[in-house]
């Protein structure tokens, strides 16, 4: 079992989840330090289509990230809303799982 990042993260990517993950298993196509450098108002354009992902093999299901996400993008994989169930596969695919 693992936690999964779903659609609300796309183009938001505020990286709050990365800072609290005890096993450093949240990653994306851009480094969090690079994202933090982009002003929030410029993120929708500069991060279009981008999100962060949780490595399902490293996640220890502590739920720390879920509480931190300001846009409620993170779910236990068993609690994903039906419309976002495919994000389980999308997260795993980023790590080629
Ligand atoms: S999942 Fe939430 S806290 Fe984590 S990067 Fe995406 S928007 Fe930010
Ligand atoms: S549930 Fe815990 S271990 Fe899994 S990604 Fe979130 S903070 Fe990291």
CATH of the domain at 32: 3.30.70.20
- Across the chain, the runs of DSSP E, i.e. the strands, are 3-5, 26-27, 53-54, 74-76
Kindly give the confidence (pLDDT) of every residue in the chain, 97 residues in length, as a single tens digit, with 9 standing for 90 and above: 999 999 999 999 889 999 999 999 999 999 998 998 999 889 899 999 999 999 999 999 999 999 999 999 999 999 999 999 999 999 999 999 8
CA 96 to ligand 2 centroid distance, Å: 18
DSSP 82: G
**Residue 71 sits in which domain range?**
3-94
For ligand 2, atom 2, the nearest C-alpha belongs to 62
Q: Atom of ligand 1 at shortest distance to CA of 26?
A: 4
Q: Is the CB of 52 under 6 A from ligand 2?
A: no
Number of domains in the chain: 1
For the record, the structure tokens of 27 come out as 């990653």
CA 8 to ligand 1 centroid distance, Å: 8
Mutating to test ligand 1, I would choose from 25, 52, 64, 90 the residue with most ligand atoms within 8 A of its C-beta, which is 52
What is the pTM assigned to this prediction? 0.95
């Amino acid at each position: 079992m693992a936690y999964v990042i779903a659609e609300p993260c796309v183009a938001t990517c505020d990286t709050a989840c990365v800072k609290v993950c005890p096993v450093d298993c949240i990653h994306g196509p851009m480094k969090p330090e690079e994202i933090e450098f982009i002003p929030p108002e410029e993120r929708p354009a500069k991060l279009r289509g981008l999100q962060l992902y949780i490595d399902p093999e490293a996640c220890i299901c502590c739920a720390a990230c879920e509480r931190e996400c300001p846009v409620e993008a993170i779910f236990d994989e068993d609690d994903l809303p039906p419309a976002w169930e495919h994000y389980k596969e999308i997260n795993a695919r980023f790590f080629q799982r």
